[in-house]
Amino acid sequence: MSTFTTTDGTEIFYKDWGPKDAQPIFFHHGWPLSSDDWDNQMLFFVSEGYRVIAHDRRGHGRSNQTDIGHDMDTYAADVAELIQELDLRNAVHIGHSTGGGEAARYVARAEAGRVAKAALLGAIPPLMLKTDANPDGVQMEVFDGFQSALIANRAQFYLDVSSGPFFGFNHDGAEVSQGQIQNWWRQGMMGSASAHYQCIEVFSETDQTEDLKAIDVPVLVMHGEYDQVVPIANSAHKAVKLLKNGTLKTYEGLSHGFFATHPDLVNADLLAFINA
């Protein structure tokens, strides 16, 4: 099992597959999951000859269940330390949901030569929360409800999320996958309740407008038009306008977890972007 220890003593689990001299693709997972959420994409891209890397964010998956460092700056700093440890250069960063925010924060501040491109899938930037400056954002009461549900019965909350809005399985005519529901629940329950509770504040209240403006590499913004978790109008539609070199790709009728429900479609679009 591959792990490294950050400067604040947190042990981070990661996967590193494929030729070490190939172009690296680094995957950033969403809340409250782990690097396992990217298994399909990692298997696909390693078969295409790439080096693929994914970590379990601190407090998530197999990484230490630390109760410190749950903020976007620390998440991005952990990524920067791992990338320095592995000496990754010319990498493509792919982030989903909260992982999209983590990827954006890292890429915006990365050392020259470390990043080639980025893809943000169902990502939280620029800001999820409704504020005076972001009037069409999500009400604070929604995120308060997430935290209350996590405290009351985390196992049931995670089952409800994965059975319903995350994959769009509450949509009429949806093809429900019990395996995906159970895999989502498994990943979530591996992590720390404290880390997950704190991360709700991170993904809802972190304003990443300046991160998006600072990114100068090509960025593909991908989003399901039926995303019930991160509304497309408040995220992807705004994000692409803030990026210097952004392209928007949306998917009619697809959910927040569209890369998991439709991997063949998404993998082909990612490959075309990376190869362009």
Instruction: Kindly list the catalytic residues.
Output: 97, 227, 256
Q: What is the DSSP string of 74-143?
A: HHHHHHHHHHHHHT--SEEEEEETHHHHHHHHHHHHPPTTSEEEEEEES---S--B--SSSTTSB-HHHH
Beta bridge partners of 234: none
Beta bridge partners of 117: 92
How distant is the alpha carbon of residue 209 from its chain centre? Answer: 17
- What SS3 state is found at 175? coil
The DSSP element (H or E) to which 42 belongs, if any, is helix 39-47
CA separation for the pair 155, 159 (Å, rounded)? 6
Q: Using the Cα atoms of residue 143, residue 34, residue 248 and residue 107 in order, give the sign of their dihedral.
A: positive
Q: Using the Cα atoms of residue 222, residue 225, residue 230 and residue 233 in order, give the sign of their dihedral.
A: positive
**Nearest of 123, 228, 249 to residue 168 by alpha carbon:** 228
| Residue 200 one-letter amino acid | I
Alpha helices by DSSP H, listed for 117-257, are 140-163, 178-190, 193-205, 209-214, 236-242
